[in-house]
Amino acid sequence: MTSASEPGPLAPPAARPWPPILLAAIVAAAVAASYLAPLSWPGQDDPMAHVAGLSLGAAGLVLMAWAAWTLKRHGTTIRPDAAADVLVTDGPYRFRRNPIYLAHALILLGLAEITHNIWFVILAAAYIPLVTWLAVLPEERHLEARFGDAYRGYKAQTRRWI
């Protein structure tokens, strides 16, 4: 029998690593859609628009690196299909519960600006409910089963997305 501070083995939150699968599928779909059903870019083609769009993408890359480094520093997995060893609540996780998935959405918006492909924006909007359903909700159930009241307290004080 394990104590509350020493959680025992538990099944992983998901059988597949849905977030990177979804991200790759959305990038491929946005590229394909730009050829099959091209839509004009509604944004301005000026330096400030480029700075704003590229800043979103850069912020996503920085956020993803910070979140991955934080998980590594705590000795727990970054894999969404593996059981968590530690409840991480610092670094970017002190602000949001899912910084890597938020980073993915920001990166997709940055790709939209770089390519002027509006499909990245449209599909970034689809990414959020899909990753919530396929990854976030199972991860939350896993973390609650694994860490109990500690996770429930963290969840009550830290937003999921924005």
Residue 103 in 3-state DSSP? Answer: helix
pLDDT digits over 9-65, tens only? Answer: 678 888 899 999 999 999 999 999 999 999 999 877 788 888 998 999 999 999 999
pLDDT category at 5 given cuts 50, 70, 90 is very low
Q: Which pLDDT score is estimated for 8?
A: 52
In sequence order, which ranges of the chain are alpha helices (DSSP H)?
Answer: 18-36, 47-73, 99-115, 118-131, 137-147, 149-157
- CA–CA gap between residue 154 and residue 97 (Å, rounded): 9
pLDDT tens readout for residues 116-150: 999 999 999 999 999 999 999 999 999 999 999 99
> Which pTM value belongs to this model?
0.89
19/4: higher pLDDT: 19
Residue type (1 letter), 1: M
Q: What is the pLDDT of residue 79?
A: 94
pLDDT tens digits, residue range 52-77?
989 999 999 999 999 999 999 999 99
